Amino acid sequence: MDKPRTHVTSLLTPRKERRSERRRRKQIATLQQRRARAAAAGARPAKEKPDKSMGAIPASGEPGPAALRSWLRFTVPPHAATSATLAGAYPFLAEAGLGTHGVLIGTDTRSGGSFVYDPWELYRQGVITNPNVLLAGVIGTGKSALAKSIATRSVAFGIRVYVPGDPKGEWTAVTRAVGGTAITLGQGQDTRLNRLDEGRRPAGLTDTQWASMVWARQRDLLGVLTETVLGRTLHPVEHTALDAALTATTRTPGVPTLPDVVAHLLNPDEGTEDASLLRVEGRDVAHALRRMVHGDLAGLFDGPSTVKFDPDAPMISLDLSGVTGNDTLLSLVMTCASTWMEAAILDPDGGKRWVIYDEAWRIMRHPALIRRMQTQWKLSRAYGIANLMVIHRLSDLDAVGEHLSEARALAQGLLADCSTRIIYRQESDQLAHSAVALGLTDTERDTLTSLGVGQGLWRIRDRAFRIQHQLTTGEHDLFDTTARMH
Ligand SMILES: Nc1ncnc2c1ncn2[C@@H]1O[C@H](COP(=O)(O)OP(=O)(O)O)[C@@H](O)[C@H]1O
Ligand SMILES: [Mg+2]
């Protein structure tokens, strides 16, 4: 760094000064200036002296009136204007985006820049507090297309995708296109899923630990299933009856299946205590599960699995379009299917995975399923899972269960646990609700009714992006859901 220099100048000019006095004062000032320069030059090493023959300009600038320097402070009077005027005066401000890590989604309609998204990366950077995503919009606005793009483009990054329930069967072609496995379930199909399969064994567990883990998982699944069919929580004795039946089933060699459990529920081992009590009290449970063995759900879960669940496949979807009937029936199948998948999903060594719930509002009608989703949501960070939930409107979450019910609280909790909220076009009666639930500004709220197909407001923490999702031609043909309407 250069040494400090002294510059001498007349700062004050007395008001009524005579010309001779002024000249005298200037002479003194010039003299002092020269002395100061000489002193500074003496202190400076000779080689630092500017070489005038080379035409170099001194570091302190040219002396004289062309120096463009002033001892006065440079001040600009403050100017106030509205943001609308300033945007016109200075239109070059643009959203910086979220970096360059992740899959390409499309373009930011405000800046024209490309928009990429990677929930794991954003989570790592601390931008978001969890990797879960909520996607809401009216029918036909391109929600499924976006979910499919995220899925298929993520596969290229080595991220696996699970679709635990596809009620319309629209993911089957997509799954097969990326080399994944689409499992088709429904009445009249040969496919069987045994929901009591052990699943994949995580590394580092002893035999005893693994056995108790499998038992706990099977027991949990049976409980959820029974509660879904019964539409109520289980009584303590019914829990005991289920425990006893499952224990008896696992004691026999071979893979336990649902018919075995039902058989043990209907006829508890005589050796067990209170066998007759369990037979009587466990009747509701037995008949609820029997529905899946001999009733209207027979043929789906009543035998050993015929398909192998390969957790290493790039993508797995469960096509439930063949499951006709009411929503309870569908969600029952979804419970079985998703819990069956869960064993693989909840593997901490499984790497990054997307779990996509298209048409999630259907699942939301069933408290037992919401509870499962909620557990998975909470565990997402630990297991490297990002959940994507597709619904129509945010008020779907309010339509769950009774006012102040556990189910409603769970559904609201799911929204709270989605750091990324993508809002596609909304009906005008939904605007106020969406704006409050998501903390949107008035401008953001007003854009919600005018969003086109594939356009969404991406709300990530307190930032909002208006993104046009871009489909490639190949994707457009593969994802098209309107073709069937013609
Ligand atoms: N980004 C997009 N660009 C162009 N067309 C799109 C885009 N997204 C969706 N579409 C079209 O809209 C149709 C409906 O999309 P879909 O994802 O099924 O809607 P939703 O799941 O919201 O009901 C698709 O068949 C596709 O042809
Ligand atoms: Mg859809």
**Residue from 189, 206, 451, 405 nearest 300 by CA:** 189
More confident residue, 233 or 64: 233
Beta pairing partners, 107: 114, 468
Q: How far apart are the C-alpha atoms of 360 and 370, rounded to whole Å? A: 10
Closest residue by Cα to atom 1, ligand 1, is 454
Q: How far is CA 225 from CA 196, 211, 323, 411, in A?
A: 12, 21, 17, 19
Q: Which two tokens stand for residue 353?
A: 């995975």
What is the maximum alpha-carbon separation in the chain? 129
User: Which of 104, 143, 144 has most ligand 1 atoms within 8 Å of CB, for mutation?
Assistant: 144
Q: Average pLDDT, whole number, for the chain?
A: 82
Q: Is the pLDDT of residue 46 over 60?
A: no
For 334-345, how does the pLDDT look when each residue is reduced to its tens digit (9 = 90+)?
777 766 677 667
User: Which of 104, 392, 426, 482 has most ligand 1 atoms within 8 Å of CB, for mutation?
Assistant: 482
> Ligand 2 centre and the CA of 164: distance in Å?
15
The atom number, within ligand 1, closest to the CA of 468 reads 1
More confident residue, 73 or 126: 126
Residue type, 131: P
Q: Give the lowest-confidence range in 191-200, 245-254, 404-413, 436-445.
A: 191-200
Q: Is the pLDDT of residue 33 over 70?
A: yes
Q: Which of 226-240, 267-281, 302-316, 392-406 has the highest average model confidence (pLDDT)?
A: 226-240
Q: What is the pLDDT of residue 51?
A: 55
> Ligand 1 centre and the CA of 476: distance in Å?
8
Q: How far apart are the C-alpha atoms of 298 and 389, rounded to whole Å? A: 29
More confident residue, 1 or 372: 372
Half-sphere exposure for 356 (CA within 13 Å, toward CB): 29
> Burial level of 481, CB count in 10 A (0-12/13-18/19+)?
middle
Residue holding tokens 């002024």?
Answer: 22
The atom number, within ligand 1, closest to the CA of 481 reads 25
DSSP state of 207: H
Q: What is the pLDDT of residue 468?
A: 96
Q: Is the pLDDT of residue 53 over 60?
A: no
Q: What is the pLDDT of residue 25?
A: 83
Mean pLDDT of 466-477: 92
Q: Ramachandran region of residue 126, left (φ > 0), alpha (ψ -120 to 50) or beta?
A: left
> Burial level of 84, CB count in 10 A (0-12/13-18/19+)?
exposed
Residues with a beta carbon under 5 angstroms from ion ligand 2? 144
Alpha helices in 163-290 (DSSP H): 172-177, 207-230, 236-251, 258-266, 275-281, 283-290
Q: What is the pLDDT of residue 154?
A: 94
Residue type, 57: I
**pTM over the 0.85 mark:** no
Task: Kindly indicate the confidence band of residue 45, based on its pLDDT and cuts at 50, 70 and 90.
Answer: low
The atom number, within ligand 1, closest to the CA of 137 reads 22
> Ligand 2 centre and the CA of 137: distance in Å?
9
Q: Which residues line ligand 1 (CB under 6 A)?
A: 137, 139-145, 453-454, 469, 471, 476, 480-482
User: Which of 481, 484, 485, 486 has most ligand 1 atoms within 8 Å of CB, for mutation?
Assistant: 481
Q: What is the pLDDT of residue 136?
A: 92
